[in-house]
Copies of this chain bind each other. A is one copy, B any other.
Amino acid sequence: MLPRGRPRAMGAAALLLLLLLFGFLLFGGDLGCERRKQGGRAGAPGCFPGPLMLRVPPDGRLRRAAALDGDPGAGPGDHNRSDCGPPPPRPSKCELLHVAIVCAGHNSSRDVITLVKSMLFYRKNPLHLHLVTDAVARNILEMLFHTWMVPAVHVSFYNAEELKSQVSWIPNKHYSGLYGLMKLVLPSALPAELAHVIVLDTDVTFASDISELWALFAHFSDTQAIGLVENQSDWYLGNLWKNHRPWPALGRGFNTGVILLRLDRLRQAGWEQMWRLTARRELLTLPATSLADQDIFNAVIKEHPGLVQPLPCVWNVQLSDHTLAERCYSAASDLKVIHWNSPKKLQVKNKHVEFFRNFYLTFLEYDGNLLRRELFGCPSQPPPGAEQLQQALAQLDEEDPCFEFRQQQLTVHRVHVTFLPHEPPPPRPHDVTLVAQLSMDRLQMLEALCRHWPGPMSLALYLTDAEAQQFLRFIEASPVLAARQDVAYHVVYREGPLYPVNQLRNVALAQALTPYVFLSDIDFLPAYSLYDYLRASIEQLGLGSQRKAALVVPAFETLHYRFSFPHSKVELLALLDVGALYTFRYHEWPRGHAPTDYARWREAQAPYRVQWAADYEPYVVVPRDCPRYDPRFVGFGWNKVAHIVELDAQEYELLVLPEAFTIHLPHAPSLDISRFRSSPTYRDCLQALKDEFHQDLSRHHGAAALKYLPALQQPQSPARG
């Protein structure tokens, strides 16, 4: 064994010097050029280097990595280093790059999206994402990528639950839990034909084109299989505190937040046995892993140093509390990947954290719609549905006065369901979810709504990416909201000038998990007792099972902000009598709720049936499998009315509940309403939508649809709100 410490360091330095000298004598000044010629895949003949050979050679960074490796212990695989080597060939223009990420739960799903945004921003190649997910993350990410429709991005999912048993025997103290260990089983979990993959932690951010990272595979010697950046802390050197006993590692060890994996070689080398053997042996003397997979990777590498190809430090700039990363980034002029590897994430203490945080915020708040960019010159299978969508959009006439409406109807909005942690309610046979939609200007309603409705809610929020972050902070700052795990928030990302009210309602409705839904609007506060009362009524009336009905919740309004909410029907009637409350839209649009028959409701002791009439738009409770809202109604007008028409056409009984009520609070008119009021075109377009709605209604319901024709043809009051 070599002596430890300084003499060993000197030995390594001497070896390095020798290698350098050897390289210089052997290749002179020509190495770069020679190799460049050889490396060209599609270059012109002779002196003309192909474009592929000349793209962003990373040598400079490799040299910087070597500088960081000044610690002699950190020089594993130095004999395999190609510091003097040529720029590796960049992947060819349309080469498909593979990326694997393990992701579980709501919060990690948000992180992955930010990571993917940064990757897509700089990428110039088609990508195949291999996502190892739990059920929650899969539900979120599948919908997200489906609606994101990014060209030249393919996504495959792998069930993390099925892999758990392969790692659950390892005691682990790291905050990433079991999922942190799953990177170890990727060689067997990913498809056998997949030979190269970049593996990323969810907490990394790209600051460069991932193809530059992929290009580093070309640096691997014939036996290397794992590319890693040195760990930028003294953790593995041990003795950070009394009894600190890290897992074995070469010098500072390596960080596994960014890994280049030659899956083919690992499979050949018997990786599955290799890491298990090492882990079992170390666990004889160590109680558990502290840093999950990273401890095991390092222990294996210590045993088999020939496996590892060290990567330049800029490809994994680690921002933990006591990071040594500054040595790396202050010398480099280019950072490639930032790794938030402190459990404190963006709250980590670091004198340059503001710089890195700004970088991260760039992608956190970046409008993901802008990443739906094609790759010029790389023909690729368009995402599912994208082609039809393109055709439909291309057929629109830009001169049509209703062009904006048509375009908005066709827009596929990116959807991020359960944006925040959410515990679905335990299944109960008569449970009801309150369903509503909102944008930023109605966030103030949420606390009051939570106080009035103790049951589950499914809310669609129409937000930009930046607003989604504001929303997150708003929830975190509110003890009332942060405590409610049964409220599911689904972010629908903004796109286009008109509010897609019915698309939003449909997102919230589709995500409701109880057998019944209360279809409400965000400006309404339900009676405190409504949740309990509805469940009792559903049971009593046999809603859904015996009876196909929609239960009507009578709607009222107050014109005052400060107002003492009635605790009973008696109190409500008293307020109504003194003019402190009105029936909803009493002054502006009584037709909308007239069929509810407030006079009868006043006296009613039992549910009573009412008949549909033109413009009726009550708030109703229906089984979850009720008809969807018609997404053609965007902006303002007729969106709920059409839904009630559809319910009536499908022969839902309309039953008014005698003790139910909900009260509308005042708010400033929305921008859409202002626009409606001032624009005759807007009203003409709405009429055109109504005509088309009726044509579809006739197609589905035949002569029965005739009943609705007069209602659809009468002009709508512009004063409606």
Tell me the bound Cα distance from A699 to B450 in angstroms: 48
- Contact check, B93 vs A333: say whether CB atoms are below 8 A apart: yes
- Contact check, B31 vs A47: say whether CB atoms are below 8 A apart: yes
With a cutoff of 8 Å between Cβ atoms, the chain B residues found around residue A331 in the complex are: 377
Contact of A29 with B by CB under 8 A: yes
The residue among A44, A331, A359, A561 with the most chain B CB atoms within 10 A of its own CB is A561
- Contact check, B60 vs A330: say whether CB atoms are below 8 A apart: no
CB-CB under 8 A for A47 and B60, given A37-B29, A444-B674, A668-B666: no
With a cutoff of 8 Å between Cβ atoms, the chain B residues found around residue A281 in the complex are: none
Partner of A32, one of B49, B443, B678: B49
- Contact check, A84 vs B466: say whether CB atoms are below 8 A apart: no
With a cutoff of 8 Å between Cβ atoms, the chain B residues found around residue A32 in the complex are: 33, 36, 47, 49
- Contact check, A51 vs B24: say whether CB atoms are below 8 A apart: no
- Contact check, B64 vs A47: say whether CB atoms are below 8 A apart: no
Question: Whose C-beta in chain B lies nearest to the C-beta of A669?
Answer: B444
Min CB–CB distance A493 → chain B (angstroms): 12
Contact of A607 with B by CB under 8 A: no
With a cutoff of 8 Å between Cβ atoms, the chain B residues found around residue A372 in the complex are: 358
- Contact check, B59 vs A54: say whether CB atoms are below 8 A apart: yes
Question: Whose C-beta in chain B lies nearest to the C-beta of A674?
Answer: B444
With a cutoff of 8 Å between Cβ atoms, the chain B residues found around residue A444 in the complex are: 668-671, 674
A457-505, CB < 8 A from B = 464, 466, 473-474, 477-478, 497
With a cutoff of 8 Å between Cβ atoms, the chain B residues found around residue A665 in the complex are: 668
A357-386, CB < 8 A from B = 358-359, 361-362, 365-367, 369-374, 376-377
Partner of A23, one of B47, B562, B678: B47
Tell me the bound Cα distance from A631 to B50 in angstroms: 60
Tell me the bound Cα distance from A334 to B352 in angstroms: 30
Contact of A193 with B by CB under 8 A: no
Min CB–CB distance A496 → chain B (angstroms): 11
With a cutoff of 8 Å between Cβ atoms, the chain B residues found around residue A588 in the complex are: 562
Partner of A57, one of B33, B54, B355: B54
Contact of A87 with B by CB under 8 A: yes
Min CB–CB distance A413 → chain B (angstroms): 16
With a cutoff of 8 Å between Cβ atoms, the chain B residues found around residue A27 in the complex are: 47
- Contact check, B370 vs A362: say whether CB atoms are below 8 A apart: yes
Min CB–CB distance A82 → chain B (angstroms): 11
Min CB–CB distance A405 → chain B (angstroms): 15
- Contact check, A329 vs B376: say whether CB atoms are below 8 A apart: yes
- Contact check, B474 vs A671: say whether CB atoms are below 8 A apart: yes
Tell me the bound Cα distance from A44 to B29 in angstroms: 12
The residue among A28, A63, A376, A443 with the most chain B CB atoms within 10 A of its own CB is A376
Tell me the bound Cα distance from A93 to B20 in angstroms: 25
With a cutoff of 8 Å between Cβ atoms, the chain B residues found around residue A397 in the complex are: none
Min CB–CB distance A540 → chain B (angstroms): 37
Partner of A49, one of B59, B358, B667, B669: B59
Contact of A201 with B by CB under 8 A: no
Question: Whose C-beta in chain B lies nearest to the C-beta of A441?
Answer: B441
- Contact check, A333 vs B377: say whether CB atoms are below 8 A apart: yes
- Contact check, A29 vs B33: say whether CB atoms are below 8 A apart: yes
A263-313, CB < 8 A from B = none
- Contact check, B374 vs A355: say whether CB atoms are below 8 A apart: yes
Question: Whose C-beta in chain B lies nearest to the C-beta of A51?
Answer: B60
- Contact check, B376 vs A330: say whether CB atoms are below 8 A apart: yes
Tell me the bound Cα distance from A370 to B466 in angstroms: 13
Contact of A587 with B by CB under 8 A: yes
With a cutoff of 8 Å between Cβ atoms, the chain B residues found around residue A45 in the complex are: 24
Min CB–CB distance A549 → chain B (angstroms): 34
Partner of A373, one of B31, B355, B559: B355
Tell me the bound Cα distance from A719 to B719 in angstroms: 32
CB-CB under 8 A for A668 and B561, given A447-B674, A497-B473: yes
With a cutoff of 8 Å between Cβ atoms, the chain B residues found around residue A478 in the complex are: 678
With a cutoff of 8 Å between Cβ atoms, the chain B residues found around residue A474 in the complex are: 671
- Contact check, B370 vs A358: say whether CB atoms are below 8 A apart: yes
Tell me the bound Cα distance from A560 to B588 in angstroms: 12
Partner of A367, one of B84, B466, B477, B669: B466
- Contact check, A29 vs B55: say whether CB atoms are below 8 A apart: no
With a cutoff of 8 Å between Cβ atoms, the chain B residues found around residue A702 in the complex are: none
Contact with B along A89-119 (1 / 0, CB 8 A): 0000100000000000000000000000000
Tell me the bound Cα distance from A60 to B41 in angstroms: 13
Min CB–CB distance A65 → chain B (angstroms): 12
Partner of A330, one of B63, B330, B377, B443: B377
With a cutoff of 8 Å between Cβ atoms, the chain B residues found around residue A447 in the complex are: 674, 678
Partner of A48, one of B46, B63, B352: B63
- Contact check, B60 vs A54: say whether CB atoms are below 8 A apart: yes
Contact with B along A658-669 (1 / 0, CB 8 A): 000000011111
- Contact check, A63 vs B47: say whether CB atoms are below 8 A apart: no
Contact of A162 with B by CB under 8 A: no
CB-CB under 8 A for A333 and B124, given A560-B559, A666-B666: yes
Contact of A190 with B by CB under 8 A: no
Contact of A400 with B by CB under 8 A: no
Question: Whose C-beta in chain B lies nearest to the C-beta of A37?
Answer: B29
Partner of A51, one of B64, B366, B441: B64
Question: Whose C-beta in chain B lies nearest to the C-beta of A28?
Answer: B47
Min CB–CB distance A600 → chain B (angstroms): 28
Min CB–CB distance A251 → chain B (angstroms): 22
A416-453, CB < 8 A from B = 440-444, 447
Tell me the bound Cα distance from A530 to B443 in angstroms: 36
Tell me the bound Cα distance from A568 to B49 in angstroms: 82
Binding site for B on A (CB under 8 A): 20, 23-24, 27-34, 36-37, 44-52, 54-57, 59-61, 63-64, 83-84, 87, 93, 124, 329-334, 352, 355, 358-359, 361-362, 365-367, 369-374, 376-377, 440-444, 447, 464, 466, 473-474, 477-478, 497, 559-562, 587-588, 665-671, 674-675, 678, 719, 721
Beyond A24-B46, A52-B60, A561-B668, 8 additional contacts (C-beta under 8 Å) are: A49-B60, A55-B60, A331-B377, A332-B376, A352-B374, A367-B466, A559-B666, A562-B588
Interchain Cβ contacts under 8 Å between A and B, 18 examples: A24-B45, A27-B47, A29-B47, A30-B47, A32-B33, A32-B36, A54-B60, A55-B334, A329-B376, A355-B373, A359-B370, A362-B370, A365-B367, A367-B466, A442-B668, A561-B669, A561-B721, A562-B587
The 5 closest A-B pairs by CB, nearest first: A51-B60, A33-B33, A24-B46, A358-B370, A667-B668
